[in-house]
Amino acid sequence: MSAPPPALPLRPPAHQVSPRAVVWWRLRALLIVLAVVAPQAVAALLLSGTAPGWLMATAALTAVAGLAYVIVVPPLLFRIHRWEVTAEAVYTLSGWLVREWRIAPISRVQTVDTEHGPLQQLLKLASVTVTTASARGPVTIRGLDEGAAAELARQLTETTQATPGDAT
Amino acid sequence: MTAEPDGAPWRRLDTRMIAVTPLSGALRLLPVAVLLLVTRQGDVVGRLWVPLGIALALVIAGVVRWRTTQYRITADRVELHTGWLRRQRRSVPRDRIRTVDLTSRLVHRVFGLSVVQVGAASGSSGDGAGLALDAVSKTEADRLRRELLDRSAAITPERPARAPVDELARLRWSWLRFAPLTFSAIAGSGAVFAAAFNLFDDLGVDPRDVPGVDDAAHCLTAAPIWLGVLVVSGVLVVVAVIGSLLLFAERWYAYRLTREATAEGGALRVRRGLLTRRSLSVSERRLRGAEVVEPILLRAGRGAQTRALATGLSRDAQGGALQPPAPRAEAHRVAAVALREHPGLATRAPLRRHPRAALRRRLTRALLPAAALVSIAFAVGVAVPMPWLGPASLVLLPAAMALAIDRYRNLGHQLTARHLVMRQGSVQRRTVALQRAGVIGWTFRQSVFQRRAGLVEVEAVTAAGAGGYPVLDVAAADGVAFADATTPDLLAPFRARSAR
């Protein structure tokens, strides 16, 4: 392939998610790292002396890899994740190793859901999911500011209710 | 019954259901009854009174079910009330009805009844995805079918008995040759074996007690191993072929594909079945496309099967089948006829090949797992002394290579006047013709590796069938251009300036 690598000729969506989403992604990753590392560490401590040597090694390795992810990846995610809602369409970009651009026409939107997980509530964040008639079509914008999410959901609901038909 | 002021009268299921419900229940209990009688388990009380009690319960359940089930079709809804202690009310808006499916199992057929299955698009309003009327008389079922698919149809029985019908395809018995080449051949042989085994088991007979079987087993164990393998696999193949032929005949006997004129522009109807008669009707307004599926064996035999892509069709293996496995040309013809399109503009459209980078990706994705398996085989072969395991596993490499090349050769996409045509797959090759108007969104996916190779996966999102149909590994710029050309208004605002 000749450089520079040809990226997808789509412009990125206009808006970034809330900067607090970085904290959210960090916390989530940290919880997972803890859940994986803690049992290994506990086992290594309880069996101290008789514990096989590799147990400490794997525990240390997963801890280092996990912490590296926690430090490096969330800011990357923040830079990649973008969204945009126009009069005609909802447009999102997400993913890290596999990037995903999703476009759903407003005229085909059936439901608009807002979701606050426990961590998201703590950080005053929310996710908005827009569902179309297709089983493969839901478009989710994660890590929005709570107020912005509510406003977006209200606006989307209004627009979709104004559209006649059953959106298939 | 007279019409109520607020709409159509409530109707009941056919009176014959009072007999059919207990009878089908009893048939399902028949193996148990036979077992009880044959094995002479229990005393007289158990052998006589328990079955009588069960029979009485079945009859009462049948009467209650008939008494408590009511349905009606109003101007804009189909409503069904069922249940006695736990009442259920289902209601489906008529403008959401996508398909009407009539099924008559054997008992139903003896009594001249049909189950009406109404398939609806599941919506946001909390309505269920459909309902079933089990069962009404055949004439009532046919009337309901036409009434539900054709909203303009009057609810009176004085309509013309036959709508104009166009026959698009019918069964040719020469297609039986494709039956052993489908996956159901394996399922069929499994079913035959399971049935035979169950029969032996239910009768309490050990197969080894049957005279001849034991001798045969002795001969097999005495013979050289290759002969044993040969004989057993030969028997398996014969059973699979017979099972698949029977299954094909049961499924596709009296197959006919017709088009009926309705006020909304027509409906496709598939009728088939030997013991269980089925009729599937799809309103053409709900048709979003068609696909021609070629599982590898069927492809080797130059056969293919056509399915309809419509909203509201069930997603199981039989859902939407427009035709039995048939010669490839015939399958493409039926797909085109169903879509009212020339085959060259539907599934037979000349496709655009994908870039060489797609071939490299197919190769790495097939060869890396194969190489991993080979190295594991070598390691295991050394650990457990089985020196032939490693070298034998080398055969995986050319197989994976052939698979990758075939997968690449099958990749293709094209945009025709009214359809997007996409093809992919090797073990199961699918050619999809999706209506451009049926595309309700796009998903572009690009991994780090695809990004480096300048490729992208473009998925057309639709309400029908699998929900999304991907074009694998197309050049990034071409993929976006393809999607943009399909739905010009949707994508244009998001295209990069320089690319336009």
Same domain, A52 and A92: no
Query: Does pLDDT of B424 surpass 90?
Result: yes
Question: Taking a C-beta distance cutoff of 8 angstroms, is the pair B189, B239 a contact?
Answer: yes
Average pLDDT estimate for B274-293: 88
pLDDT band at B4 (very low <50, low <70, confident <90, very high): very low
Closest CA–CA distance from residue A29 to any residue of chain B (Å):
21
Q: Which residues in chain A are contacts of B495 at CB distance < 8 A?
A: 9-11
Give the end of a domain, one of A32, A61, A79: A79
How confident is the model at residue B158, as a pLDDT?
47
CA distances from B457 to A31, A93, B83, B471 (A): 32, 14, 49, 6
Same domain, A90 and A58: no
Closest CA–CA distance from residue B440 to any residue of chain A (Å):
7
Residue of A nearest to B458 (CA): A101
Give the end of a domain, one of A79, A109, A128: A79
Same domain, A69 and A130: no
How confident is the model at residue A2, as a pLDDT?
40
Same domain, A99 and A55: no
Q: How far from each other are the two terminal CA atoms of chain B, in whole angstroms? A: 66
Query: Does pLDDT of B409 surpass 90?
Result: yes
Residues B111 and B62: their CA atoms lie apart, in Å, by: 15
The fraction of chain B above a pLDDT of 90, given in percent, is: 37
For residue range B134-149, list pLDDT tens digits in order: 888 989 998 888 888 7
Residue B334 is encoded by which pair of tokens?
A: 């039926």
Closest CA–CA distance from residue B443 to any residue of chain A (Å):
4
pLDDT band at B396 (very low <50, low <70, confident <90, very high): very high
Does residue A23 lie within any of the structural domains?
yes
CB burial readout B380-417, b (16+ within 10 A) else e: ebeeeeeeebbeebeebeeebeebbebbbebbbbbbbe
Same domain, A131 and A145: yes
Average pLDDT estimate for B313-329: 79
Query: Does pLDDT of B160 surpass 70?
Result: no
How confident is the model at residue B184, as a pLDDT?
62
How confident is the model at residue A4, as a pLDDT?
46
How confident is the model at residue B353, as a pLDDT?
93
Does residue A9 lie within any of the structural domains?
no
pLDDT band at B181 (very low <50, low <70, confident <90, very high): confident
Among A7, A86, A134, the residue with its CB nearest the CB of B476 is A7
Among A104, A105, A110, the residue with its CB nearest the CB of B123 is A110
Among A5, A86, A137, the residue with its CB nearest the CB of B441 is A137
Average pLDDT estimate for B251-265: 86
Query: Does pLDDT of B25 surpass 90?
Result: no
The fraction of chain B above a pLDDT of 70, given in percent, is: 81
How confident is the model at residue A108, as a pLDDT?
85
How confident is the model at residue B498, as a pLDDT?
57
How confident is the model at residue B3, as a pLDDT?
42
Q: Which residues in chain A are contacts of B475 at CB distance < 8 A?
A: 6
Query: Does pLDDT of B383 surpass 80?
Result: yes
- Supply the range of the domain harboring residue A51: 16-79
Question: In this structure, how many other beta carbons lie within 10 angstroms of the beta carbon of residue B301?
Answer: 17
Same domain, A66 and A96: no
The H-or-E segment that residue B295 falls in is strand B287-295
How confident is the model at residue B1, as a pLDDT?
41
For residue range B437-475, list pLDDT tens digits in order: 999 999 999 999 999 999 999 999 998 888 899 999 999
Instruction: Give 10-residue mean pLDDT values along chain A (168 residues).
Output: 60 93 95 91 79 80 93 94 92 93 90 89 92 85 92 88 61
Average pLDDT, chain B: 83
Give the end of a domain, one of A55, A79, A103: A79
Question: Taking a C-beta distance cutoff of 8 angstroms, is the pair B262, B150 a contact?
Answer: yes
How confident is the model at residue B474, as a pLDDT?
94
How confident is the model at residue B327, as a pLDDT?
96
The residues in A 70-129 lying below 8 A from B, measured between CB atoms, are 84, 86, 88-89, 91, 95, 97-105, 108, 110-111
Does residue A11 lie within any of the structural domains?
no
Phi, psi at residue B154, to the nearest 5°? -70, 155
Note the ipTM here: 0.90
Among B121, B461, B497, the residue with its CB nearest the CB of A137 is B461
Residue B214 is encoded by which pair of tokens?
A: 């034991």
Q: Please indicate whether, in this complex, the C-beta atoms of B444 and A10 are within 8 angstroms of each other.
A: yes
CATH of the domain at A145: 2.30.29.210
* Strand bridging mode B267-272 / B287-295: unpaired
Q: Pick the closest to residue A24 from A93, A73, A95, A68 (CA basis).
A: A73
For residue range B26-40, list pLDDT tens digits in order: 887 777 777 766 666
Same domain, A71 and A86: no
Same domain, A94 and A73: no
Query: Does pLDDT of B127 surpass 50?
Result: no
Q: How is chain B split into domains, by residue range?
A: 11-161, 173-252, 256-353+411-499, 356-407
How confident is the model at residue B41, as a pLDDT?
58
Among A100, A105, A111, the residue with its CB nearest the CB of B441 is A105
How confident is the model at residue B448, as a pLDDT?
92
CB burial readout B106-118, b (16+ within 10 A) else e: ebbeebebbbbbb
Does residue A39 lie within any of the structural domains?
yes
Does residue A22 lie within any of the structural domains?
yes
- CATH number of the domain at B11-161, out of 2.30.29, 3.40.50, 2.60.40, 3.30.70? 2.30.29
Same domain, A103 and A34: no
Average pLDDT estimate for B198-222: 64
Same domain, A30 and A55: yes
Average pLDDT estimate for B44-61: 78
Q: Please indicate whether, in this complex, the C-beta atoms of B476 and A111 are within 8 angstroms of each other.
A: no
Omega before B135 within 30 of 0, i.e. cis: yes
Query: Does pLDDT of B24 surpass 50?
Result: yes
Question: Taking a C-beta distance cutoff of 8 angstroms, is the pair B58, B22 a contact?
Answer: yes
Task: Enumerate residues 6+ apart whose C-beta is below 8 A from B287.
Answer: B268, B308, B309, B310, B338, B339, B435, B464
Lowest-pLDDT choice from A21-35, B159-173, B324-338: B159-173
Query: Does pLDDT of B165 surpass 90?
Result: no
Does residue A3 lie within any of the structural domains?
no
Same domain, A71 and A92: no
Q: Find which of B89-98, B165-174, B214-223 is predicted with most confidence, using mean pLDDT.
A: B165-174
Using a CB–CB cut-off of 8 Å, the residues of B that contact A are: 95-96, 121, 123-124, 286, 311, 357, 440-448, 451-454, 456, 459, 461-463, 466-468, 475-477, 479-480, 487, 489-491, 493-499
How confident is the model at residue B211, as a pLDDT?
61
Lowest-pLDDT choice from A4-13, A51-60, B175-184, B313-322: B313-322
Number of structural domains (chain A) is: 2
Same domain, A138 and A74: no
Q: Which residues in chain A are contacts of B466 at CB distance < 8 A?
A: 135-136
Average pLDDT estimate for B323-350: 93
Closest CA–CA distance from residue A85 to any residue of chain B (Å):
11
Closest CA–CA distance from residue A84 to any residue of chain B (Å):
10
Query: Does pLDDT of B153 surpass 90?
Result: no
